[in-house]
Structure 1
Amino acid sequence: MSSPDHGAAGPGEGAEDRPRSEPPEQLALIRESVRRAEVPRAKPRTWRGAALAGRLPVARVLVDKGVLHLDRYFDYAVPEELDAQARPGVRVRVRFGAGRGQVRGGRREGGGLVDGFLVERVAASDYPGPLAALAQVVSPEPVLGPELLALARAVADRYAGSLADVLQLAVPPRSARAEKRPSPEPLPPPPAPAPGPWENYARGPAFLRALADGAAPRAVWTALPGPGWAEGIARAVAAALASGRGALVVVPDGRVVERVDTALTALLGSGRHAVLTADAGPEKRYGQWLAVRRGALRAVVGTRAAMFAPVRDLGLVVLWDDGDGNHSERHAPRPHAREVLQLRAAHEGCGFLLGGLGCTVEAAQLVETGWARPLVADRDRVRAAAPLVRTVGDAELARDGAARAARLPSLAWQVAREGLARGPVLVQVPRRGYVPRLACARCRAPARCRHCAGPLAAREDGGLGCSWCGREEPRWHCPECGGSRLRAQVVGARRTAEELGRAFPAVPVRTSGREQVLDTVPDAPALVVSTPGAEPVAEGGYAAALLLDGWAMLSRPDLRAGEEALRRWLGASALVRDQGSGGTVVIVAEPTLRPVQALVRWDPVGHALRELADRAELGFPPVSRMASVAGPPEAVAEFLALVELPADVVVLGPVPMPAPGVPGGPPSDRPWERALLRVPPGSGGALAAALKSAQAARTARGTGGGGRVEVRVDPPDIG
């Protein structure tokens, strides 16, 4: 049932919802009109007495207002002159708000024009009062189809957000020039591809055949090191296209888009797929998006915004490297591409391929629950494709005075010198921001709470406290080595480059990081110092790689510290030549730690399964569902008192946290707190609904003196 719509008095409000400040005589007239009506049907009207549409004169519109208490449809009258253009899915403009000069709730509002989407046309409205008319059909192009609308609603419900916010992420801004240009004619389906690199995986050829036959297989793919993964994605897309269906590929960044784009063009030729990235510019990107919406292009590759691409008859969704933080949307309601593509696979009945060099805990859970099947190579192929990984504990630096000046143990020094004789050497150092709160000074193990395993942080009074449950820890000892001293230190890429330049004065040193990211480097002797994720590709592969300061990445105060460190190490090591070609990787980290051993064995799946077992024992995501509530202390307390949480929820905190430095946020010196809400499997939907309802009620009546509260479902960083 749609929400009642608005006339001059307000947007979509019935008599019982009208503010108390309205004149009593107006309320009396409204009650009288409702009482006299035999059937409570809408009375559509148009401006200046224009004729109404003869058939289906009521349009249900989703207005572009992202506030939660307005997350519903509003009914408008359809003038006859707009009858032909006012089709479901088009952009419209409507008058929204109280009539100009009308006083509501103690403040004066003017009914301005706002954008929206026409969702459907109906014969009558449930609202008994008069309906305002559509002001304008912005464009006759239907951009919001039923599949995209259903997906957006599912995403909004899962993340306790508004449908309008999700559609802002899903539908790009309009470009009139792009709409006027016709899209190309669709090409016939290509032939089914040969297995190619999929022959390296036991179930790979069968997965490809199932796609080509029109089935919807679901798999978690742990790719072999090397450049073959891009061709594997291209062949999976080609198999889906061969069945007459579409395919969608979502990757972390523009550099990966270029690799997949090149592989698709080499396999299928040009004109068969669209590339959706922000770098293309608004007009070009919208033109490509329209070509997909119109069915002219059946394959898409792009970054996270492409997860909503309206591919017709979708047969396959692919997500590469789901552990990359770029897959988590920054704007409300902050969905993750993995969850969105899982929803698409379930709702649209298409194939699903989650691939990467590593394996996240969420990916391992998909296999454990039977939702997807694993695609892995046998151990002989893995050993042949991977470089040789050697370990050295960074404690050796304290015993090696000559090497300490360059922060290189003797083994790393030797491997770098031998590698430079054969080609470039990659040096990976933690990026800025990988600063642990506290770690053991002896073995570098992260300092965690004995009660909830949360990270310990230093308090202003000099004591220790948990960042999750808030408990104090007056007598901490390391459970690994028994040490009682703590440390927090990391060295950046620029300083590392300077140190290596002094250590190898005759070798050029190049850097790749936030200021300047290199795409490729030539196959010539050079030291390439890079932060994680910014490693350039070397022509022919790196001769060697040094992974420095491993303790800094492992000691991040986060549940994903080990998983993220292993993912970064695998990404850098995969750029190194295989063992047969002399490729060697040296990692400076405690050799006995689980992520380090997983790198040595090149066993990301085994690491993910053990992490999943630990999460299950602790009751943390993805085994459970979690949400965060952050804001000023009084606002968080007010929200937690207002929300009707499920009976099985566990509240952790609140604990202090830094105030966000975003425009419109509180002053940086104002204290903030965060509470974590945890529920077991099966209660995630109830938790999201409760949080959304409380946030909507709080927004409708104003946030009050407590300030705003940020609610996030499935936060990627819980400390």
Structure 2
Amino acid sequence: MKVARVVVDVPLAHLDRPFDYAVPEELGDGVVVGCRVRVRFAGRLVDGVVLDVGTTTEHTGKLAPLAKLVSSEPVLTPEVAELARVVADRYAGSLTDVLRLALPPRRGAPEKRPALDPPAPPPPPDPAGFARYPTGPEFLEALALGRTVRAVWTALPGEDWPTRLVELCRAALSGGRGALVVVPDGKDLDRLAAAAAAQLPKDAVAVLRADSAPDTRYGRFLSVSRGTAQVVLGTRAAMFAPVRDLGLVVVWDDGDDLHAEPRAPYPHTRDVLVQRAHLAGCSAVVAATARTAEAALLVESGWAHELVADRPVLRAAAPRVQALGADSELARDPAARSARLPSLAFRVAREALAAGAPVLVQVPRSGYAPGLVCDRCRAPARCVHCAGPLGVAAAPGPGGQRVAACRWCARPAAVFDCPHCHGTKLRASVVGSARTAEELGRAFPGAAVRVSGRGSVLASVGDAPDIVVATPGAEPVAEGGYGAALLLDSWALLGRADLRAGEETLRRWLNAAALVRPAPAGGQVVVTADAAHPVVQALVRWDPAGLAARELAERRELGFPPATRMAALSGSPAALADFLELLRPPAGAEVLGPVPEPARPGHEAGERFLVRTARADGVALARALADVQGVRSARKAPEHVRVQLDPDQL
């Protein structure tokens, strides 16, 4: 009798294991490892994926037969199945949840197309692109020879990073190995795909993106699983792509929060690819203009080495960075410390525009006035209907007027009465990109002002002397580079009550400043922040590695990730009390909390606990959390507790 071990698509923690089913004779040889089937489970038909096919079973009773063979296409490779199990165990999740992230929905038409042979490997890339990094050419050579090398690459300002990443892929491909590159968003993926089209064989590359048509996405996935495409470029979901003979994994800008999966079990791209490199024994590159504390830990532990340029090369490539606080500037403009756009920023912008170069202005928030407060007591303004925050939209309302409205329920706030001081007037606490563009348009009447942000992201701009106002991550690439960049509202980034506030602020600033021309070519950056702040100093020195090492040391001293493993438990007080009563964490683990969790749209307010343990006990903590979820699932607990290990935000 032929027996299939099936992962059943049932989202219950206590059923997180494969089940054995008999393979009917009429299905013949169609049932193979990795194919999709339908099985009867608890009286209903559900989807499943075959993990293994054999002739024995540990089940003592009669096996139920497979109900249907959905497709003989082996979409789940053994390597990805092992990775999915490891990821589920690391994040206290279930294999079913991970497979939902790894496998795209099936489409019939792409499966009918014949599989194509992979194209011939290209020759190794020209090492000149990595010549500015002392060990760069040797790194490419090692990839081409099939050796396992791992690096944390800090890209130079102005670096053509899409071309460099494609050169890494080409080196792996020339040695007969596959490659996988994951970037944060579609804008970065477009640049990467364009670079790949110029250097790699057409059929050797598959671009996996969430916004593709279902048939297109599944067809590209099949080209990878069948071995035609040996290089995969994609966003977050591509981290599970079934690349054959994987030789290289790369994550670009690993500090971007888009790399954190918002669905259970909430894995992070960087951590999944690091784990995948370990399981597959392949090379890995964690690349960015900035550096995270997690990347610093990889270097410190010896798992990866640094791929950085020498200081003279860096100084020649970087723009001149100026911050507030210089005595000469304060003498010229005593209000510079408190002004949103001090005279230094105006002067730098005028010089760049006069030289015929575009100017980039980065603001933290989109919209017009996304945050409003009481004009008298500065208390946040809230909607009287749902307690949501009030703001002013970028688009004028009827009659051309902008009216304050709730950002949750969209009800206009025609009348405001502060519950704290009964003030009736509002003022902006945060100025958005639309209002900034309006103000700059009046300050520089001869320059065109363009906005790039939510709803309208510009991929690139020309070399005309325009002003480009952009939110972080939406900065377009300028032809020939920007003449200047103004980094405004630093308090909105540095003042956030978040573990990663400093690290994230420097990442956003460096990504914007890297688009500016080098200092020898006249490029300048002005950051409206106190020059004495450590993050500002790291920007002025262009030293992301130094700040990352400092962040790691401080987090180790305070007991925060990545120096420790930490789980966030969120839910109602009753559900959390039940969860903690069942939890048996490793010895030495700390339970912190509870703290109130603010209500979100469509959700009631709850509480949150943090469970912290040593990094060496992270697997034990994940197992303990998974055991509690299994017990509560078997008991049919009425309320769910959200469990997130190593959350991106605390």
Distance 1:306 1:554 in 2: 32
Do the aligned residues in 2 keep the contact of 1:437 with 1:557 (CA within 8 Å)?
no
Q: CA deviation at 1:520?
A: 1.0
Do the aligned residues in 1 keep the contact of 2:370 with 2:432 (CA within 8 Å)?
no
Amino acid at match of 2:359: V
Q: Write the deviation string for residues 495-548 of structure 1: whole angstroms up to 9, x where unpaired.
A: 111111121122211111112111111111111111111001111111101000
| Counterpart pick for 1:81 among 19, 26, 34 | 26
Q: CA deviation at 1:679?
A: 0.5
| Counterpart pick for 1:270 among 194, 202, 209 | 202
Do the aligned residues in 2 keep the contact of 1:501 with 1:509 (CA within 8 Å)?
yes
Number of the residue aligned with 2:472: 532
Q: Write the deviation string for residues 138-191 of structure 1: whole angstroms up to 9, x where unpaired.
A: 001111111111000000000001101101111111110011112332111111
Q: Write the deviation string for residues 419-445 of structure 1: whole angstroms up to 9, x where unpaired.
A: 11121100001125999999xxxxxxx
Amino acid at match of 2:352: G
Q: CA deviation at 1:194?
A: 1.7
Amino acid at match of 1:699: S
* 1:93 is the counterpart of 2:26: no
* 1:412 is the counterpart of 2:412: no
Do the aligned residues in 2 keep the contact of 1:436 with 1:556 (CA within 8 Å)?
no
Distance 2:541 2:524 in 1: 13
Q: CA deviation at 1:291?
A: 0.7
Do the aligned residues in 2 keep the contact of 1:159 with 1:713 (CA within 8 Å)?
yes
* 1:383 is the counterpart of 2:315: yes
Partner of 1:84, secondary structure, is helix
* 1:112 is the counterpart of 2:44: yes
Number of the residue aligned with 2:622: 688
Structure 1 or 2, whichever has the larger Rg, is: 1
Distance 2:121 2:87 in 1: 31
Do the aligned residues in 2 keep the contact of 1:652 with 1:676 (CA within 8 Å)?
yes
Q: Write the deviation string for residues 89-128 of structure 1: whole angstroms up to 9, x where unpaired.
A: 110001111xxxxxxxxxxxxx111110111123232222
Q: Write the deviation string for residues 399-433 of structure 1: whole angstroms up to 9, x where unpaired.
A: 96998998310100100111111211000011259
Partner of 2:101, secondary structure, is helix
| Counterpart pick for 2:289 among 357, 372, 375 | 357
How is 1:15-54 mapped onto 2 (pairs within 5 angstroms)? none
Do the aligned residues in 2 keep the contact of 1:425 with 1:545 (CA within 8 Å)?
yes
Distance 1:402 1:635 in 2: 52
TM-score, reference length from structure 2: 0.88
* 1:144 is the counterpart of 2:76: yes
Amino acid at match of 1:82: L
Number of the residue aligned with 1:61: 6
Unmatched 5+ stretches in structure 1: 1-55, 98-110, 439-486, 662-666
Partner of 1:128, secondary structure, is coil
Percent sequence identity is 58
C-alpha change, 1:132 and 1:394, in structure 2 (3 Å) is farther
Amino acid at match of 1:595: V
How is 1:255-294 mapped onto 2 (pairs within 5 angstroms)? 255-294=187-226
TM-score, reference length from structure 1: 0.80
* 1:72 is the counterpart of 2:17: yes
Amino acid at match of 1:686: A
How is 1:502-651 mapped onto 2 (pairs within 5 angstroms)? 502-651=442-591
Distance 1:639 1:280 in 2: 40
Q: CA deviation at 1:269?
A: 4.0
| Counterpart pick for 1:431 among 365, 371, 376 | 365
Q: Write the deviation string for residues 374-405 of structure 1: whole angstroms up to 9, x where unpaired.
A: 00000011011110001115999999699899
Number of the residue aligned with 2:613: 679
Do the aligned residues in 2 keep the contact of 1:201 with 1:375 (CA within 8 Å)?
yes
Distance 2:228 2:117 in 1: 6
Do the aligned residues in 1 keep the contact of 2:366 with 2:453 (CA within 8 Å)?
no
Number of the residue aligned with 1:172: 104
Distance 1:353 1:328 in 2: 18
Distance 2:619 2:224 in 1: 32
Q: CA deviation at 1:642?
A: 1.2
Partner of 2:131, secondary structure, is helix
Do the aligned residues in 2 keep the contact of 1:143 with 1:171 (CA within 8 Å)?
yes
Number of the residue aligned with 2:406: none
Distance 1:398 1:278 in 2: 53
Amino acid at match of 2:214: P
Distance 2:279 2:335 in 1: 61
Distance 1:212 1:615 in 2: 38
Do the aligned residues in 2 keep the contact of 1:322 with 1:338 (CA within 8 Å)?
yes
Amino acid at match of 2:31: A
Distance 1:573 1:436 in 2: 26
Partner of 1:565, secondary structure, is helix
Distance 1:671 1:224 in 2: 45
Distance 1:96 1:437 in 2: 53
Partner of 2:38, secondary structure, is strand
How is 1:227-246 mapped onto 2 (pairs within 5 angstroms)? 227-246=159-178
Amino acid at match of 1:419: A
* 1:712 is the counterpart of 2:644: yes
Q: CA deviation at 1:599?
A: 0.6
C-alpha change, 1:213 and 1:152, in structure 2 (3 Å) is same
Moved over 6 A (4+): 394-399, 401-406, 433-438
Distance 2:589 2:266 in 1: 22
Q: CA deviation at 1:67?
A: 1.8
* 1:204 is the counterpart of 2:149: no
Q: CA deviation at 1:488?
A: 11
Amino acid at match of 2:200: L
| Counterpart pick for 2:302 among 370, 383, 386 | 370
Partner of 1:280, secondary structure, is coil
Partner of 2:202, secondary structure, is coil
Amino acid at match of 2:451: T
Q: Write the deviation string for residues 611-660 of structure 1: whole angstroms up to 9, x where unpaired.
A: 11111111111000111000111111111111111111111101001134
Structure of greater relative contact order (alpha carbons < 8 Å, 6+ residues apart): 2
Number of the residue aligned with 2:385: none
Amino acid at match of 2:342: P
Distance 2:182 2:353 in 1: 36
Partner of 1:426, secondary structure, is strand
Distance 1:132 1:631 in 2: 38
Number of the residue aligned with 1:491: 431
Distance 2:346 2:59 in 1: 77
Distance 2:190 2:201 in 1: 15
Unmatched 5+ stretches in structure 2: 374-426
Do the aligned residues in 1 keep the contact of 2:177 with 2:247 (CA within 8 Å)?
yes
Distance 2:544 2:364 in 1: 20
Amino acid at match of 2:598: P
Number of the residue aligned with 2:380: none
